Amino acid sequence: QVQLVESGGGLVQAGGSLRLSCAASGSRFSFDGMGWYRQGPGKQRELVAEITSGGRTNYADSVKDRFTISSDNAKKSVYLQMNSVVPEDTAVYYCTAYRVISVEGAVGRSWGAGTQVTVSS
């Protein structure tokens, strides 16, 4: 079984920075991609950023110029550098990892338990 553990969340003032980390364990195989989702108060879980094993990235428009995702495939880890944070970034941030599991292109995802990020104004 895959286990994803996030770290680095906490309280930060608007305009500040945080760096989130996520490490995967328990998998015999490499992932096709890893990333971060978040769920703010009263909102649905949404994509923040994702990175493939080949290094291609995808960002939500709201964070594209402020956050940077990176990964270490050998360590099966993913990171999110959060700069110039705003109160709207307040959410539980979830690490995710996926791999293709069928010829039709379906994917299987694993999720971390989440880490709270709170941005004060």
Q: What is the pLDDT of residue 16?
A: 98
Q: What is the pLDDT of residue 73?
A: 86
Amino acid identity, residue 113? A
| Spans in the chain with pLDDT lower than 50 | none
Token code pair at residue 101: 């599991």
Q: What is the pLDDT of residues 31-46, one digit of tens each?
A: 999 999 999 999 999 9
Q: What is the pLDDT of residue 102?
A: 87
Rounded Cα distance, 79 and 31, in Å: 15
* Partners of residue 11 on adjacent β-strands: 118
Q: What is the pLDDT of residue 29?
A: 77
Q: Residue 69 contacts by C-beta under 8 Å, 6 or more apart in sequence?
A: 35, 36, 48, 49, 50, 51, 57, 59, 78, 79, 80, 81
